[in-house]
Amino acid sequence: MKKIFEVPLYPYVKSEDQNAATPARHPVIVVGAGPIGLAAAIDLAQQGVPVVVLDENDRVSWGSRAVCYAKRPLEILDRLGCGDPFVDKGVVWNTGKVFFDERQVYRFDLLAEDGHKRPAFINLQQYYFEEYLVNRVRELQAEGKQIELRGQNKVVSVDPGSGGVSLLVETPDGPYQLRADWLITCDGAASPIRNMMGLDFVGRVFEDNFLITDVIMDADFPTERWFWFDPPFNRGQSALLHKQPDSVWRIDLQLGWNIDKEEEKKTENVIPRLKAMLGDDVKFEIEWVSIYTFQCCRMEKFRHGRVLFAGDAAHQVSPFGARGANSGLQDTDNLCWKLKLVIDGKAPDSLLDSYDVERVHGADENILNSSRATDFITPKSEISRVFRDAVLDLSEKVEFARPLVNSGRLSVPCVYDGSPLNGADDTAMPSRTRPGAPAVDAPIEGGWLIDKLGGRFQLLAIDAQAPGELDVGGVPIETLTFDTRKTPSNAVRERYLGEAPSAIYLMRPDQHVAARWLTFDRDAVVSALQAAIGRA
């Protein structure tokens, strides 16, 4: 049976554009059909913006790669109309165990709070992730949305101008030119477009290598994240074991810096390492092997005029904490509604600068967290190893040391504190739903709050009165009214009211809170909306 990553999902087809006498012009071109590029294209197409996706390949990626997906990205996928297949297929997990040498020193639960539609985390191979997004693209096409996926279309040069972006694209039928009003660049950590534009990508390279393998086996390990520091089977290094769908297990083995990558990748050298870990009697088959060296880097700016960078092309982090793909999805979630308003002439071009501000903030948070995890996992000096081991030793015996154990701080949604788009706040309401924060889900009559949110500006009137609909200079605001006496649990009250008797929340199209008040005031809402779309 052919694996999904062996099948061309968007094979090359010659486009009309290749015969055009003058270069065809598109409102938005996305470069890269990985998880982030596809999410961007789906988001825009859903909003009625015609979009063309170019990718030098024609199939989903090989190997599990970005394997852990957090709750916030799953909610974003729901907003993109396709969350179910990911969650149905994915492996839901909550428990992590940390081992030091031969002992279990620590276990954590992700403490999934009740009253959320989506779980804290799922594990899913990236090839499924991309396949389900391609399926969503096909669905949108069937609905008549203008979204096109062009395989074997490799961008070989880019000319970013103030009036538009010109591209030269290589295909099996030779090169052709394209023009775009806006270019969204999601072409990965090595981003050819970033390099063609001569843009920076600075940060720290970590001198370490990880052997990453997908192993097919019937093993009775529980559905948990297991992390080892200095285990007997990989002395002086770390290891990770994680379950994926289809009896595929993800195993990461730290190898250190001075190794021969080609030698280490050879099956005959990988098998003894796995046997040492899994035991001699466990039968397994290797699906994918890769050696990974990582860095924590970002571009100084994610916006360069009409070229917008997202995902690994804009920022890269070490893998501990699942902050790569998860943050990339938050990039496009942040970008696409802004781009739509700018394209429609309803918001100034400067609104796109807030994409830069908000997502650079997100990237810095991720880089900080994953750098710290890496410093714990890969001590960079003898004394840092001494402290690391002291923490692990103590964590077995005393509670205080356990929060210091850092095998990766798992991705949590970014709060855009200090964003210029944020409006009024009232401290009677809970901190977790402050301006800049993403909506916190809660059960409501007949479903979930999160499913009612997004895609447009909205007012949440909680135990409060507000007009059914507003229009601020062509930007509509829809009102959703909630009576907390009728919600199926206290969650709406706890998560949105706190000490307040009533609340009005202005929500952005990406489900983040823009501003909030105790009661409705038209002028206050209008000025908050203006601020949230960069008009103020």
Residues that bind another protein (CB under 8 A): 383, 386-387, 389-391, 393-394, 398, 400-401, 404
Tell me whether residue 382 or residue 523 sits nearer to another protein (CB atom).
Answer: 382
The residue whose two tokens read 């739903």 is 433
Contacts of 234 (CB under 8 A, 6+ apart): 228, 253, 254, 273, 276, 277
Question: Looking at the chain, how many residues does it have?
Answer: 536
Indicate the residue among 106 and 482 with the shorter CB distance to another protein. Answer: 106
Whether the Cβ atoms of residue 273 and residue 291 lie closer than 8 Å to each other: no
**Closest separation in Å from C-beta 401 to another protein:** 7
Q: Could you tell me the smallest distance in angstroms from the CB atom of residue 400 to another protein?
A: 4
User: Regarding beta strands 284-292 and 248-254, do their DSSP bridges make them parallel or antiparallel, or are they unpaired?
Assistant: unpaired
Bridge pairing between strands 225-229 and 238-243: antiparallel
**H or E stretch covering 392:** helix 382-397
Q: Minimum Å distance from CB 404 to another protein?
A: 7
DSSP-based three-state secondary structure for 483: coil
CB 377 to another protein: min, Å: 17
CB of 53 to another protein, least distance (A): 48
Shortest spacing between CB 302 and another protein, in angstroms: 31
Reduced to 3 states (helix: H, G, I; strand: E, B; else coil), residue 11 is: coil
- Rounded to whole angstroms, the Cα distance separating 9 from 287 reads 20
Nearest-CA neighbor of 10 among 192, 147, 156?
147
Q: Which residue has the tokens 């807030």?
A: 354
For the CB of residue 383, give the shortest distance to another protein in the complex, in Å.
Answer: 8
Q: Shortest distance, CB of residue 387 to another protein, whole angstroms?
A: 5
Q: Tokens 């990974």 label which residue? A: 292
Beta carbon nearer to another protein, 386 or 428: 386
Considering beta carbons, is residue 59 or 388 the nearer one to another protein?
388
CA separation for the pair 484, 486 (Å, rounded): 5
The least CB distance from residue 1 to another protein, in Å, is 53
Instruction: For Cα atoms 253, 214, 134, give the angle at the middle one, nearest 5 degrees.
Output: 130
Residue placing its CB nearer to another protein in the complex, 393 or 451 = 393
Cβ closest to another protein, residue 124 vs residue 405: 405
- Phi-psi bin for 293: left (phi > 0), alpha (psi -120 to 50), beta? beta
Give CA–CA dist 446/420, Å, rounded: 36
> How far apart are the C-alpha atoms of 204 and 416, rounded to whole Å?
24
CB closer to another protein, 1 vs 398: 398
User: Closest CB to another protein among 91 and 391?
Assistant: 391
Side-chain-facing half-sphere of 413: CA atoms under 13 Å: 25
Q: Which is nearer to another protein, 111 or 398 (CB)?
A: 398
